[in-house]
Each structure stands twice: as structure tokens, then as C-alpha cells.
């Protein structure tokens, strides 16, 4: 199982000399195994994936959206395969039903006056799969187990736990934490090879914005330790945090949980 971080920033894309090492593209992580391409979120990191030479081996992708906030979907109309009629994109979402469904939501975002090309004019075939977070999903492959979990975020968000042939990756962003939620996170992340977790805030920032629906690197390490995961990837970085601050956060996090890494744009890992 190969995991690649294409975009690791939260909220909005940034570019500055102070953030160049970690990167400034928004949430997007791909997972590849057995000629399958599965993508967690479709932020601006998705654009880099669309430009990567590995795409020549694929003609379809499964895109698992945590939710529909801009930082998680804004790469979609710039993803090269959406302009190729031989491609099929399968979108999954647990939070579009109150807004008329997933197709309607994407059509609204990516049609005039918000986008120059009407959604229905993109050449790729698109399928829309909607579900209630908390239920397991079938993505058409018998050896893949995909569990989902409702997260605590304004408007809702969904976490994913993907297992295939003894390898497990857990994607938990965007969410705040609480004493009640921590046992749920631990159960959901139990024994994973990698936990990717919403580490937007420091403890001080969390106290300033308790209702923004994001968690902290400190909570990430507490969950990682209790769930006995093999590695923890800090993710959905605060756009205000410079490379220097991120390095400092990483050092502190590694003191709490030695298996911590920093999700950075372009980082690839074989699980």
C-alpha cells in the first residue's frame, strides 16, 4: 500500500518562503494498491496528483470526501483526469443530502458564475455515492474494508478507516475533540499502520477557537498512543504556521509519540 500526501494544509492554500518546506496545498492524500487509486479529499493537492506520471496506469479513481468545505474540494475542476472522457471518477460523501445531494452540490460549486465550465460539460464519467457516516462502505473491491465515522465539525465531516490485506490507514480530519469523542477515535484508529489526524491547532489556539471544528497535535499523539498505531501523520496544518513552527510542533509531538511524522506536500510512504 503506497500512501502519498499531495496537500496537507487546512482551510485555504498558501504560498510563501516561510511555508515552502511543508507546502501550502490543501487536503488530498492518495492510497494505491493492486492497481487501485483511492483518494482522501480533493483539495488543491489533487491538482499535483493530476500532473503526476503515475496516472498513466489508471483510468478510474475513488474519491472519498470528508466533507464539502472548499479546502477539501477545490482541486476537482483542475484535476486533469476530469477532462479525459476515458476516465471514471467515483465520489463518496456523507454530508450532501441536506443540500440536495452530492451531484447538486458539486454542480453548484463548479458551474457559472462560480466556475467557467458547467459541471455537466466535464468529459470524465462521474458517479456519486452517498452514505450515512458510521456505516461501512463497499467500493467494489472484495479485499477492501472501509469503515466510516461521523466527526464533530460544523456541518459534519466523515472519517475513514481503510484496510486491505493486513494494512490499515485511518483518515481523521476535520474534527474537534472532546472527552466523549476520544474513546471513539481510539476505537476507530486501533492498531492502524498510519493515522492521519487533524492537527490544526496548538492547545492555546484550540482554546481560542473551540467551535471551529478542529483538533490539536497534542490530541493526535494521545489518540495515537492509546490506539497503538504504528505511525501518526500530523495533517490539515494551520495556514498561519510557518515551517519553523511546524518543525517545533513535530519535535514536541515526537516527544509524546515517537512514531509521529509531519504530513508534507509530496511525501510518499510505503506501508
Task: Give the binding site for Zn ion (CB under 5 A).
Answer: 10, 69, 71, 174
CA-CA distance, 78 to 102, in Å (whole number)?
Answer: 18
In the complex, the smallest distance separating the C-beta of residue 92 from Zn ion, rounded to whole angstroms, is 16
In the complex, the smallest distance separating the C-beta of residue 201 from Zn ion, rounded to whole angstroms, is 12
For residue 84, give every residue at least 6 positions away whose Cβ sits within 8 Å of its Cβ, in sequence order, or none: 123, 124
Q: Return the number of the residue (65 or 224) whose C-beta is nearest Zn ion.
A: 65
Q: Are 262 and 234 in contact (CB under 8 A)?
A: yes
Q: Return the number of the residue (69 or 126) whose C-beta is nearest Zn ion.
A: 69
Q: 173: which strand partners?
A: none
Q: Return the number of the residue (1 or 196) whose C-beta is nearest Zn ion.
A: 196
* Residue closest to Zn ion, measured at CB: 69
Q: Are 25 and 44 in contact (CB under 8 A)?
A: yes
In the complex, the smallest distance separating the C-beta of residue 208 from Zn ion, rounded to whole angstroms, is 17
What three-state secondary structure class fits 149? strand
In the complex, the smallest distance separating the C-beta of residue 71 from Zn ion, rounded to whole angstroms, is 4
Please provide the DSSP assignment of 7-74 as one string: E-B-SS----TTSTTT---BSEEEEEETTEEEEE--STHHHHHHTSGGGGG-SEEEEE-S---GGGTT
In the complex, the smallest distance separating the C-beta of residue 209 from Zn ion, rounded to whole angstroms, is 13
Q: Shortest CA distance to 174 belongs to which of 73, 271, 258?
A: 73
C-alpha cell at 228: 497503538
Q: Return the number of the residue (67 or 87) whose C-beta is nearest Zn ion.
A: 67
In the complex, the smallest distance separating the C-beta of residue 172 from Zn ion, rounded to whole angstroms, is 12
Q: Return the number of the residue (10 or 24) whose C-beta is nearest Zn ion.
A: 10
C-alpha cell at 164: 486491505
Q: Return the number of the residue (174 or 219) whose C-beta is nearest Zn ion.
A: 174
Amino acid at each position: 500500500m503506497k500512501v502519498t500526501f499531495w496537500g496537507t494544509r487546512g482551510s485555504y492554500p498558501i504560498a510563501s518562503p516561510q511555508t515552502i518546506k511543508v507546502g501550502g496545498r490543501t487536503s488530498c492524500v492518495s492510497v494505491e494498491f493492486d492497481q487501485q487509486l483511492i483518494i482522501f479529499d480533493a483539495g488543491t493537492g489533487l491538482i499535483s496528483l493530476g500532473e503526476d506520471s503515475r496516472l498513466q496506469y489508471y483510468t478510474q479513481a475513488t474519491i472519498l470526501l470528508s466533507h464539502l468545505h472548499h479546502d477539501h474540494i477545490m482541486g476537482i475542476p483542475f484535476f486533469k483526469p476530469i477532462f479525459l472522457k476515458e476516465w471514471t471518477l467515483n465520489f463518496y460523501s456523507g454530508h450532501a443530502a441536506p443540500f440536495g445531494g452530492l451531484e447538486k452540490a458539486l454542480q453548484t460549486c463548479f458551474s457559472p458564475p462560480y466556475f467557467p465550465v458547467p459541471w455537466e460539460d466535464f468529459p470524465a464519467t462521474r458517479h456519486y455515492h452517498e452514505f450515512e457516516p458510521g456505516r461501512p462502505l463497499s467500493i467494489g473491491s472484495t479485499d477492501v474494508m472501509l469503515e466510516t465515522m461521523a466527526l464533530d465539525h460544523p456541518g459534519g465531516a466523515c472519517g475513514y478507516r481503510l484496510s486491505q490485506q493486513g494494512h490499515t490507514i485511518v483518515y481523521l480530519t476535520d474534527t474537534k475533540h472532546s472527552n466523549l469523542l476520544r474513546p471513539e477515535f481510539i476505537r476507530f484508529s486501533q492498531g492502524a499502520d498510519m493515522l492521519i489526524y487533524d492537527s490544526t491547532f496548538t492547545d492555546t489556539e484550540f482554546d481560542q477557537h473551540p467551535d471551529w471544528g478542529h483538533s490539536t497535535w497534542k490530541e493526535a499523539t494521545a489518540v495515537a498512543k492509546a490506539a497503538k498505531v504504528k505511525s501518526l501523520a500530523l495533517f490539515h496544518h494551520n495556514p498561519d504556521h510557518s515551517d519553523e513552527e511546524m518543525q517545533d510542533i513535530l519535535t514536541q509531538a515526537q516527544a509524546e509519540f515517537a512514531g509521529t511524522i509531519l504530513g508534507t506536500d509530496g511525501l510518499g510512504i510505503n506501508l
